[in-house]
Amino acid sequence: MDMTPDDFPTSAYIGGEWVTSKDRFAVVNPATGLVIASVPDLTAADARRAIDAASAALPAWSAKTAKDRAAVLRRWNELILAEAEPLAQLMTAEQGKPLAESRGEVAYGASFVEWFAEEGKRAYGRTIPTTAASKRYVTIKQPIGVVAAITPWNFPIAMITRKVAPALAAGCTIIVKPAEDTPLCALALAKLAEKAGLPEGVLNVVTTRNARGVGEVLCADSRVRKLTFTGSTEVGKVLYRQCADTVKKLTLELGGNAPLIVFDDADLDQAVAGAMASKYRNAGQTCVCANRILVQAGIYDRFADALAKAAQSLIIGPGTGQGVNLGPLINAEAIAKVESLMADAVKRGGTVKTGGAKDAAGSLFYKPTVLTGVTADMDIVGQEIFGPVAALIKFETDDEAIALANSTPFGLAAYLFSQNISRAWKTAEKLEAGMVGVNEGIFSNEVVPFGGVKESGLGREGAAEGLDEYLETKFICLGGI
Ligand code: NAP
């Protein structure tokens, strides 16, 4: 380890150059409210320059063999891992999550780089049996071209590597617009990619407060052939529309409203552990966090008691604190949203079993909360909470649970807990979700496809599917044989 968080860049990165600007914006530590650094507030014109750079770099990068690209990606992976500790410190400083979670995310983020370095070598086409004696049919896979990536603040490294690694492995070049709240990790990744020998223009990072203006440029420019976005469904829909004129390929990883079903025959300890992991990780600020916890009547009280006890054992504080496992929310709007959802739930008859208020640790800390007596008419059931509040809904029958679980426009993650394999399998098949955890609260990794159905998005990240998102299939018919 030879870098400290202070050594990481605070300039944007375009065409292999570290770009400054007289306009800058502050990056704030959500645990303390203190400014950590400032980064350039780039413009729509800068975004166009980044597209120029990515376009110029495309022919040479896409012409390299997958093996040569893999060599650069592997070096990048090694450098990320070598700098894991300062990167984790940087992440906790700008995003707030507990250091142990930041360390986990650095490893998780790097795993996509390692995995796609290898998977890029397996971008296989097909030979197809002919329908005419004089012809032969093959398909080949080719990089789609210049890619634009727009990413959220809740996983400042992994949401970037999950897009950049497969894009680069496929032979694409890319422009990343990181979240305004967490640009430092994105720039740190670019620094390490540069050190790994990534040619100029292959990866560009545009920091900006003008997400809308920069987003419009990235969507409108016909040289950008693909947009990959992780963030809210609301913004995803705007980008989907904006990409229509140039008919871009899209990956949209959008919001969720994950149901977590606890059946009467669940192993109680397993269900509580799964709910804790799914609900309170990153202070409840993940797209796959259990948003609605559906508990069958026979186990409801025991589950609520055990979950409340486990929630009370969480240690709340700045992510750097000893043993802390619940950090602050990202900003004042996030706290306001949780408070408003709680007020609505309590007004409509919900009961606060534990928590239910801000914590003395600081203005952005909210106590781990368990809310019982939740009903379908409450806002907390229809909206993504994005905070450490477990909302418990009681149900009687399996059909009722499945109907409740599916009664949302979202379909990202779902979880269920049951010791009955038949019930678990049938329920997993019926849940309208891109991913289902059975007796498991955390399931994401680089080798499995991550993504949603319905208004939770399009496409998949990770796994072979994740590489395919950056490839086009070309059919070649060889005639005159
Ligand atoms: P967000 O407000 O949609 O922002 C995501 C990104 O889009 C940020 O970089 C943001 O920039 C940018 N953006 C905002 N408005 C834009 C516009 N008009 N044009 C172009 N870009 C725009 O979401 P968030 O609050 O950062 O993230 C939380 C959401 O992400 C949740 O809904 C969560 O479920 C979802 N999420 C989904 C997944 C998944 O894999 N499905 C994973 C993680 C998070 P600024 O930061 O400058 O506003």
Helix crossing, 84-95 with 99-119: angle to 10°?
A: 120
Please indicate, yes or no, whether residues 277 and 329 belong to a single structural domain of this protein: yes
Please indicate, yes or no, whether residues 425 and 470 belong to a single structural domain of this protein: no
Q: Look up the CATH number of the domain holding residue 111.
A: 3.40.605.10
State residue 6's pLDDT score: 72
Q: What is the mean pLDDT of the chain?
A: 97
Please state, in angstroms and rounded to a whole number, the distance separating the CA atoms of residues 342 and 371: 9
**Within-domain flag for 133:** yes
Residue nearest to atom 20 of ligand 1 (CA): 215
Cβ of 235 below 6 Å from ligand 1: yes
Whole-Å CA distances, 289 to 28, 70, 110, 437:
25, 33, 22, 12
Amino acid at 57: A
**Within-domain flag for 325:** yes
Smallest CA-to-CA distance from 259 within 382, 82, 106, 139 is with 382
Dist. CA 39 → ligand 1 center (Å): 19
Dist. CA 231 → ligand 1 center (Å): 3
Helices (H), 132-174: 158-170
Give me the phi and psi of 143, to 5 degrees please: -60, 140
Domain that holds residue 415: 258-445
**Within-domain flag for 221:** yes
Cβ of 455 below 6 Å from ligand 1: no
What tokens were used for 172? Answer: 């694409």
Annotate 87-116 with b (16+ C-beta within 10 A) or e (fewer): bbbbbbbbbbbbbebbbbbbebbbbbbbbb
Q: Look up the CATH number of the domain holding residue 325.
A: 3.40.309.10
Q: Say whether pLDDT at 198 is over 70.
A: yes
- Residues involved in catalysis: 253, 287
Q: What is the largest CA-CA distance in the chain?
A: 78
What would the pLDDT profile of 427-473 be if each residue is shown by its tens digit?
999 999 999 999 999 999 999 999 999 999 999 999 999 999 999 99
Please indicate, yes or no, whether residues 236 and 265 belong to a single structural domain of this protein: no
**Within-domain flag for 450:** no
- Residue of 155, 235, 281 best suited for mutating to test ligand 1, as the one with most atoms within 8 Å of CB: 235
Q: Say whether pLDDT at 5 is over 90.
A: no
Smallest CA-to-CA distance from 462 within 108, 152, 156, 144 is with 108
Please state, in angstroms and rounded to a whole number, the distance separating the CA atoms of residues 282 and 334: 13
- Residue of 224, 287, 469 best suited for mutating to test ligand 1, as the one with most atoms within 8 Å of CB: 287
**Within-domain flag for 296:** yes
**Within-domain flag for 323:** yes
Q: Residue 478: beta bridge partners?
A: 136
Cβ of 145 below 6 Å from ligand 1: no
Residues 6+ apart with CB under 8 A from 332: 363, 364
Smallest CA-to-CA distance from 141 within 450, 464, 452 is with 464
Please indicate, yes or no, whether residues 156 and 300 belong to a single structural domain of this protein: no
Cβ of 179 below 6 Å from ligand 1: yes
Helix crossing, 183-195 with 158-170: angle to 10°?
A: 40
Please state, in angstroms and rounded to a whole number, the distance separating the CA atoms of residues 148 and 167: 10
Q: How confident is the model at residue 422 (pLDDT cuts 50, 70, 90)?
A: very high
Residue nearest to atom 39 of ligand 1 (CA): 253
Q: pTM of the entire structure?
A: 0.97
Total structural domains in the chain? 2
Please indicate, yes or no, whether residues 104 and 69 belong to a single structural domain of this protein: yes
Cβ of 252 below 6 Å from ligand 1: no
**Within-domain flag for 92:** yes
Dist. CA 350 → ligand 1 center (Å): 30
Please indicate, yes or no, whether residues 423 and 346 belong to a single structural domain of this protein: yes
Q: Give the atom of ligand 1 at the shortest distance from the alpha carbon of 450.
A: 40
Please state, in angstroms and rounded to a whole number, the distance separating the CA atoms of residues 327 and 137: 56
What would the pLDDT profile of 263-296 be if each residue is shown by its tens digit?
999 999 999 999 999 999 999 999 999 999 999 9
Cβ of 172 below 6 Å from ligand 1: no
Cβ of 329 below 6 Å from ligand 1: no
Please indicate, yes or no, whether residues 434 and 461 belong to a single structural domain of this protein: no
Residue nearest to atom 18 of ligand 1 (CA): 212
Q: Which residue has the tokens 């920069």?
A: 214
What tokens were used for 291? Answer: 């948003």
Residue 295 and residue 306 in contact, taking contact as beta carbons nearer than 8 Å: no
**Within-domain flag for 292:** yes
Residue 361 and residue 328 in contact, taking contact as beta carbons nearer than 8 Å: yes
Please indicate, yes or no, whether residues 366 and 401 belong to a single structural domain of this protein: yes
Q: How confident is the model at residue 3 (pLDDT cuts 50, 70, 90)?
A: low
Q: Is 59 exposed, middle or buried (0-12, 13-18, 19+ CB in 10 A)?
A: exposed
Q: How confident is the model at residue 1 (pLDDT cuts 50, 70, 90)?
A: very low
Please indicate, yes or no, whether residues 322 and 422 belong to a single structural domain of this protein: yes
Please indicate, yes or no, whether residues 286 and 168 belong to a single structural domain of this protein: no
Q: Report the half-sphere exposure of 66 (CA within 13 A, side-chain side).
A: 19
Cβ of 152 below 6 Å from ligand 1: yes
What would the pLDDT profile of 25-43 be if each residue is shown by its tens digit?
999 999 999 999 999 999 9
Please indicate, yes or no, whether residues 130 and 269 belong to a single structural domain of this protein: no
Please indicate, yes or no, whether residues 216 and 114 belong to a single structural domain of this protein: yes
- Residue of 150, 288, 448, 456 best suited for mutating to test ligand 1, as the one with most atoms within 8 Å of CB: 150
